[in-house]
Structure formats: C-alpha cells, structure tokens
C-alpha cells in the first residue's frame, strides 16, 4: 500500500510538483483515494505477456549459458534426482531429457559438479516411469483443453474471468452465511453485556 501511494504521487505530475516544492502530500487527492484502475496500473509496470513472448524466451533460453547454469544448479540441489531436475528446469519436457543428461555428464567429466549415485546409477525402470508419467500428464492436459474448448488466449482469459466470478460468488455466499450465523449472536451478546453493566 505504501509503495502504491508513493507511486501514485510520483506518477502524477501535479502531486509530484507539490511534493518537490513543499515536501507534503495531498492525502485527500484523487491519486491516493484508491479508486484507480489496477489493471492499468500494473500494465504501466509490466507489459502483457503473449504466447509469442513465451516462445521467444524459450528459443533464447534453450542452450544458453543461463540454462546451463540452471541445469548444473538443479543437479547439485537435488543430488542428481532426474525427476526433480526435469521438474525444476525451465522450458523442458521429456524429449529434452537426453540433452539435459549430456550436459550433466559433460559437467561431471570436467569436474564442475560431483558425481551423484542417484544420477549415475538411475535405474531404467525409473526413467521409463518418468516418461510414462509425463506423457500421461500431457494427454490429460490436452484432453482438459479440448473439454474446456480452449483454442487461444481469449478463450483462456474468458475461462479465468469466469472462474474469478464463481470464486467471488462463493466468497460472498460464505460471508453471508457467517453473517447469518454469527451476526444475531453478536447483537444479543452486546445487549447482555449492557444489561449486566446496568445492574
């Protein structure tokens, strides 16, 4: 809230001029009333992310120095557990596993990272189980996407808005139930206390 107020003052030309000149802030001013369009406010700070932005990031990230460092760090953090490595490294799916393995093997051979038993002696069954699990998750995600009729960003946005409305209704209903259940008791309790004080 404090950062929001500071930004509101500094981004408003009149408020900024008054603050620079007098060192004071108009607390009643429109900029600090909180009646702002928060979506517009966050758009000033962060640009909208599109599918193309994600694809561009993926292209620049894969086989980069940053990815190499992330793979090595994940390998050390998870002591060679490929399940957790594959879950934590950005922009990878099960088809990337041979590439990730080669990167780690090269780092082990050059002495950059230690040799962990969990990686070097991973069983073939564990590899197959990981592949099956990821393939199953991909099929389920595709099926859910088809069931929801998600074809593009607009469809996804509509789904999120719809779910937000449902959540808001659920919250309103919940608050109404609490008020109905405890609202009357609170009033009665207040009266009893007042009556006792009178005695």
Can you give the length of the chain in residues?
199
pLDDT for residue 14: 74
- Count CA atoms within 13 Å of residue 25 on its CB side: 15
Q: Quickly tell me which residue has 């590899």 as its tokens.
A: 127
How far, in Å, CA of 24 to CA of 9, rounded? 10
CB 112 within 8 A of CB 72: yes
Count CB atoms within 10 A of the CB of residue 31. 19
Domain residue limits, the chain: 1-45, 52-121
How would DSSP label each residue in 13-82?
HHHHHHHHHHS---TTSGGGSS-S-HHHHHHHHSPPP-HHHHHHHHHHHTTSHHHHHHHHHHHHHTTT-H
Q: How far is CA 185 from CA 67, 68, 175, 176, in A?
A: 60, 62, 15, 14
pTM: 0.55
How far, in Å, CA of 40 to CA of 34, rounded? 13
- Name residues whose C-beta falls within 8 Å of residue 100's C-beta, 6 or more positions apart in sequence: 71, 82, 85, 86, 89, 92
pLDDT for residue 199: 47
Q: Which two tokens stand for residue 117?
A: 């038993």
User: pLDDT-derived band of residue 192, with 50, 70 and 90 as boundaries?
Assistant: very low
Report the mean per-residue pLDDT for the chain. 79
Instruction: Give 6-37 pLDDT, tens digit per residue.
Output: 777 777 777 777 777 777 766 655 555 555 66
Instruction: Give 61-77 pLDDT, tens digit per residue.
Output: 999 999 999 999 999 99
């Amino acid at each position: 809230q404090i950062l929001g107020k500071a930004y509101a003052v500094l981004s408003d030309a009149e408020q900024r001029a008054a603050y620079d000149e007098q060192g004071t802030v108009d607390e009643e001013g429109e900029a600090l009333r909180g009646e702002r369009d928060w979506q517009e406010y966050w758009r000033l700070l962060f640009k909208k992310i599109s599918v193309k932005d994600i694809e561009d990031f993926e292209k620049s990230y894969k086989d980069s120095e940053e990815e190499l460092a992330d793979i090595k760090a994940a390998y050390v953090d998870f002591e060679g557990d490929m399940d957790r490595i594959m879950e934590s490294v950005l922009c990878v799916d099960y088809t990337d596993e041979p590439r990730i393995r080669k990167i780690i093997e090269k780092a082990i051979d050059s002495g950059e990272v230690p040799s962990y038993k969990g990686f070097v002696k991973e069983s073939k069954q564990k590899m197959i189980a990981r592949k099956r699990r990821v393939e199953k998750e991909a099929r389920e995600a595709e099926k859910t996407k088809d069931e929801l009729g998600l074809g593009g960003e607009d469809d996804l946005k509509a789904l999120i808005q719809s779910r937000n409305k449902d959540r808001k209704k659920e919250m309103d209903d919940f608050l109404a139930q609490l008020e109905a259940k405890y609202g009357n008791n609170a009033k009665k309790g207040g009266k009893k206390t007042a009556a006792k004080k009178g005695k």
